[in-house]
């Protein structure tokens, strides 16, 4: 194929439209394709901060302006690629004992770093870490810039790039010294494969090729925007741990990479990381291996042709049969077209308001990015598959914001990749955690890796708001699929979750109520955990969760024709009905009972405003002695607005505040929160992070979609849409929320 000297954005659009014409799914009422493609991301230079990505939730590939990782080494991250550094000699994880803290008159053991066990405590926090599987970029062979230097992005002319949301593909083009280069980048929608097409006369002259490089893992807590160490320290000692076995023929290649780690007690290889890249391309090609000690790159050239159609399959078993580039791109187009045409959708295009336009843009881009980064078999990490934050581990309290929107938007197939299976997998270790602390049921972990281990940490071990999440997920699942199969799928998880929640609550004989804590950290992670008792949001969530669990047992009993009442464990009912009342001072809720100077201490009115979740996130309780006092809810919302340090707030704080305003009937305030300057999304829809959280901070994307679902679909007793009337919003496919 011979290309004109420059491929323009217009010619790329034709490609994009041709790709989407193959759609066979029945188009819904809204012209979804038109709206989605109007937000296709266009760039003419690399962002230094965010890539453009293709991916499938379990593998994603971040690209610079070339459509690959040529100039900027953006990352290739997966759900399954993890690595352990060698254990600190002479200890193993069994030598970690954590710390005992006084808890209601007894010592309870918490997974907290123990100063006497510093080395293994640190190791457990930093390992395993998620690895950047590979870097794939354009190799410019002997070409140089006019001044004789290596080619940089500044040497490209007429660079254009389009991320086509409708087909899940990136189309990039530029000229190098007058010769056009065009690159297409795709991901298979279900298998962990990347498809790349490169078209240029520079291929035929042997001046252009495709390189593959392998960054070495590191132990940086936050690794952004590039994960791992470059160049792979092939000359350093670390390289001894990083070995490659390769097979290349003219149309096919395999690279098996093995990163060794050693058991500190006996010096044997303990937990090697081994994975495969299986490569296939269309034309006679030549793979060169890196020269030892010089540049650690494999380079593919295909000098007989002006086109390389290339597929790279990533796996831990090496058992893929890579498909053709054409097959991969067809499957991607079909999958994404059917994704966009199914589930719920919001059309705000009838409005000229800039707020409506921006909300539509954020919504569409978030619908794309949450699939690429969050629709995985494990919950996503905070920065998705873009960067590493917290060593690539995921936080179970954050799973709510990452995942719950999939159910509100009717994409249960994507939710089903992780739920309820993720809880089932982590059930045994969570039962052990509860048992070791003297509780019944399962205490879900916090900062977690795929083995279910929760990283040591004071906050990690004392947060509790992740505990009721499975009950919220299960309730939404049952609402969509009210049948015996749903009831049984979740039953063990619900049993263990509610048993823990009931046994964690401490019966205070003086007051006659069940208390939560101390010690604990509330959602905001502020305050002294030894003095934190009865946090308001957690109390509301406990009551909501036990309510769901009790209803679940009643449904199951009806379903199996047994006595409904008898099937509900009595402690669930006792705790639900005798939980401490939500703390109120001066007619507003307080973060926890007895908190000093609630609205005047700067240390208190900062971080996550979880008080807005009592009504914004949760439906008002249907049980308990005292109904939710809406005057207090309203007073609290007003007080948050006037005193909270919202400039220091970030991420899902704003959608949470918006949902609270919405339920209180103040749509304009809800929109003001959603469009707050501290809640920003870049040109490609990535939510900004901050100094305290990794970038991009993907819980923002999920929480935005959850808030938009509430605007569009409403909630029990108040079905949507709730957008301003003058926006003439059209919504389809939403069911009413909790």
Ligand X SMILES: *[C@@H]1O[C@H](CO)[C@@H](O)[C@H](O)[C@H]1NC(C)=O
Would you tell me which residues interact with ligand X (CB under 6 A)? 5-6, 8, 44, 91, 94-95, 101-102, 104, 141-144, 146, 157-158, 175, 177-178, 206-207, 263, 266, 268, 270, 284, 286, 303-304, 508, 510-511, 519, 528-530, 563, 565-566, 585-587, 597-599, 629, 631-632
Q: How far is the CB of 288 from ligand X (least distance, A)?
A: 11
Count other C-beta atoms under 10 Å from residue 626's C-beta.
8
Picking from 270, 289, 306, the residue whose alpha carbon sits closest to that of residue 127 is: 270
Q: How far is the CB of 594 from ligand X (least distance, A)?
A: 7
Who's near 274: CB < 8 A, 6+ residues apart? Answer: 256, 257, 258, 259, 316
Who's near 27: CB < 8 A, 6+ residues apart? Answer: 33, 341
Which is nearer to ligand X, 277 or 462 (by Cβ)?
462
Q: How far is the CB of 517 from ligand X (least distance, A)?
A: 9
Q: How far is the CB of 562 from ligand X (least distance, A)?
A: 9
Who's near 627: CB < 8 A, 6+ residues apart? Answer: 620, 621
Which is nearer to ligand X, 403 or 580 (by Cβ)?
580
Q: How far is the CB of 730 from ligand X (least distance, A)?
A: 29
Q: How far is the CB of 490 from ligand X (least distance, A)?
A: 23
Per-residue DSSP letter, 352: -
Which is nearer to ligand X, 10 or 321 (by Cβ)?
10
| Residues 615/660, Cβ–Cβ less than 8 Å | yes
What the block records as the tokens of 106 is 């007894």
Which is nearer to ligand X, 563 or 642 (by Cβ)?
563
Which is nearer to ligand X, 263 or 666 (by Cβ)?
263
Which is nearer to ligand X, 204 or 667 (by Cβ)?
204
Which is nearer to ligand X, 489 or 636 (by Cβ)?
636
Q: How far is the CB of 524 from ligand X (least distance, A)?
A: 15
| Residues 461/444, Cβ–Cβ less than 8 Å | no
Separation CA 114–CA 122 (nearest Å): 9
Who's near 724: CB < 8 A, 6+ residues apart? Answer: 353, 667, 668, 671
Separation in Å, CA 17 to CA 11, 167, 467, 634: 10, 9, 46, 49
Which is nearer to ligand X, 115 or 292 (by Cβ)?
115
Which is nearer to ligand X, 93 or 482 (by Cβ)?
93
Question: Degrees (nearest 5) of the Cα angle 650, 653, 658?
Answer: 130
Q: How far is the CB of 4 from ligand X (least distance, A)?
A: 10
Which is nearer to ligand X, 94 or 319 (by Cβ)?
94
Which is nearer to ligand X, 204 or 736 (by Cβ)?
204
Q: How far is the CB of 207 from ligand X (least distance, A)?
A: 6
What the block records as the tokens of 39 is 């937000």
* 121 conformational bin, left if phi > 0, alpha if psi -120 to 50, beta if neither: alpha
The backbone torsions φ and ψ at residue 242, rounded to the nearest 5 degrees and listed phi first, read -120, 100
Q: How far is the CB of 485 from ligand X (least distance, A)?
A: 26
Q: How far is the CB of 92 from ligand X (least distance, A)?
A: 6
Number of H-type helices and E-type strands within the chain? 20, 32
Separation CA 475–CA 551 (nearest Å): 10
Query: Which contiguous run of DSSP H or E holds residue 263?
Result: none
Q: How far is the CB of 285 from ligand X (least distance, A)?
A: 7
Separation CA 158–CA 6 (nearest Å): 7
Separation CA 264–CA 246 (nearest Å): 30
Separation CA 713–CA 691 (nearest Å): 34
Secondary structure class of 480 (helix, strand, coil)? helix
* Cα atoms in the 13 Å half-sphere on the side-chain side of 53: 37
Which is nearer to ligand X, 198 or 313 (by Cβ)?
198
Cα torsion angle, 404, 409, 413, 414, sign: negative
Q: How far is the CB of 534 from ligand X (least distance, A)?
A: 7
DSSP-assigned beta bridge partners for residue 263:
none
Q: How far is the CB of 561 from ligand X (least distance, A)?
A: 11
Which is nearer to ligand X, 181 or 442 (by Cβ)?
181
Which is nearer to ligand X, 43 or 411 (by Cβ)?
43
Q: How far is the CB of 468 from ligand X (least distance, A)?
A: 22
Which is nearer to ligand X, 44 or 718 (by Cβ)?
44
Cα torsion angle, 407, 411, 412, 418, sign: negative
Which is nearer to ligand X, 141 or 231 (by Cβ)?
141
Query: Which contiguous run of DSSP H or E holds residue 635?
Result: helix 630-643
Burial status of residue 256 (CB atoms within 10 A of its CB: 0-12, 13-18, 19 or more): middle
Who's near 273: CB < 8 A, 6+ residues apart? Answer: 81, 82, 83, 84, 131, 258, 259, 261
Q: How far is the CB of 331 from ligand X (least distance, A)?
A: 29
Gyration radius (Cα) of the chain, Å = 27
In SS3 terms, 388-431 reads as: EEHHHCEECCCHHHHHHHHHHCCCHHHHCCCCCHHHHHHHHHHH
């Amino acid at each position: 194929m011979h290309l004109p000297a420059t491929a323009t954005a217009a010619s790329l659009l034709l490609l994009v439209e041709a790709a989407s014409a193959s759609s066979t799914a029945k188009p819904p009422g809204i012209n979804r394709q038109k709206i989605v493609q109007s937000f296709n991301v266009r760039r003419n230079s690399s962002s230094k901060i965010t890539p453009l990505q293709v991916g499938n939730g379990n593998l994603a590939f971040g690209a610079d302006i070339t459509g690959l990782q040529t100039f900027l080494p953006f990352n290739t991250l997966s759900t399954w690629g993890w690595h352990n550094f060698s254990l600190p000699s002479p200890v193993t994880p069994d030598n970690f004992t954590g710390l005992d803290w006084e808890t209601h008159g007894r010592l309870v053991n918490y997974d907290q770093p123990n100063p006497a066990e510093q080395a293994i405590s640190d190791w457990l926090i930093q390992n395993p870490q998620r690895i950047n599987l590979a870097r794939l970029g354009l190799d410019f062979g002997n070409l140089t810039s006019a001044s004789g230097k290596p080619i940089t992005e500044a040497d490209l002319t007429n660079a254009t790039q389009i991320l086509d949301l409708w087909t899940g593909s990136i189309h990039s083009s530029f000229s190098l010294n007058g010769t056009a280069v065009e690159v297409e980048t795709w991901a298979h929608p279900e298998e962990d494969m990347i498809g790349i097409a490169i078209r240029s006369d520079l291929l035929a002259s042997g001046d252009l090729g495709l390189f593959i490089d392998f960054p070495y893992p590191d132990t940086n807590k936050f690794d952004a925007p590039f994960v791992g160490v470059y160049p792979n320290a092939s000359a350093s000692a670390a390289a001894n741990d990083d070995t490659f076995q390769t097979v290349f023929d003219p149309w096919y290649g395999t690279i098996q990479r093995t990163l060794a780690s050693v058991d500190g007690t006996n010096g044997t290889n303990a937990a090697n990381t081994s994975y495969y890249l299986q490569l296939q391309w269309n034309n006679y090609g030549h793979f060169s291996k890196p020269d030892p000690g010089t540049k650690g790159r494999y380079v593919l050239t295909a000098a007989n042709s002006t086109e390389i159609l290339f597929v790279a399959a990533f796996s831990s078993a090496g058992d893929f049969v890579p498909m053709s580039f054409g097959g991969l791109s067809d499957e991607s187009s079909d999958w994404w077209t059917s994704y966009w045409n199914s589930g719920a959708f919001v059309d705000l295009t009838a409005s000229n308001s800039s707020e409506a336009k921006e909300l539509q843009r954020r919504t569409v881009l978030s619908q794309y990015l949450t699939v690429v980064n969050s629709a995985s078999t494990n919950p996503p990490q905070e920065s998705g598959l873009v960067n590493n934050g917290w060593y690539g581990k995921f936080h179970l309290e954050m799973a709510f914001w990452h995942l719950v929107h999939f159910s509100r938007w009717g994409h249960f197939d994507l939710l089903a990749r992780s739920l309820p299976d993720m809880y089932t997998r982590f059930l045994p270790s969570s039962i052990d955690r509860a048992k070791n602390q003297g509780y019944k049921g399962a205490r879900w972990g916090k900062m977690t890796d795929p083995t279910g281990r929760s990283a040591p940490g004071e906050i990690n071990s004392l947060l509790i708001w992740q505990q009721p999440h499975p009950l919220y997920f299960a309730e939404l699942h049952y609402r969509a699929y009210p049948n015996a199969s749903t009831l049984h799928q979740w039953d063990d998880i619900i049993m263990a979750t509610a048993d823990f929640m009931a046994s964690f609550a401490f019966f205070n004989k003086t007051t006659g109520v069940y208390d939560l804590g101390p010690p604990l950290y509330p959602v905001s992670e502020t305050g002294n955990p030894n003095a934190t008792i009865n946090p308001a949001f957690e109390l509301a969530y406990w009551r909501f969760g036990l309510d769901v669990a009790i209803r679940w047992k009643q449904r199951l009993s009806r379903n199996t024709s047994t006595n409904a009442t008898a099937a509900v464990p009595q402690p669930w009912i006792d705790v639900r009905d005798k939980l401490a009342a939500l703390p109120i001072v001066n007619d507003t809720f307080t973060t926890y009972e007895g908190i000093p100077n609630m609205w005047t201490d700067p240390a208190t009115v900062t971080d996550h405003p979880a008080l807005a979740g009592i009504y914004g996130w949760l439906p008002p309780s249907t049980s308990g002695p005292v109904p939710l006092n809406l005057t207090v809810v309203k007073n609290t919302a007003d007080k948050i607005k006037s005193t909270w340090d919202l400039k220091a707030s970030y991420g899902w704080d704003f959608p949470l505040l918006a949902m609270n305003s919405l339920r209180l009937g103040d749509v304009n305030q809800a929109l003001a929160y959603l469009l707050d300057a501290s809640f920003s999304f870049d040109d490609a829809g990535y939510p900004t992070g901050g100094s305290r959280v990794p970038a991009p901070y993907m819980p923002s994307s999920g929480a935005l979609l959850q808030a938009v679902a509430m605007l569009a679909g409403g909630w029990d007793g108040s079905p949507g849409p709730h957008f301003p009337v003058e926006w003439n919003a059209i919504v389809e496919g939403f069911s009413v929320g909790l």
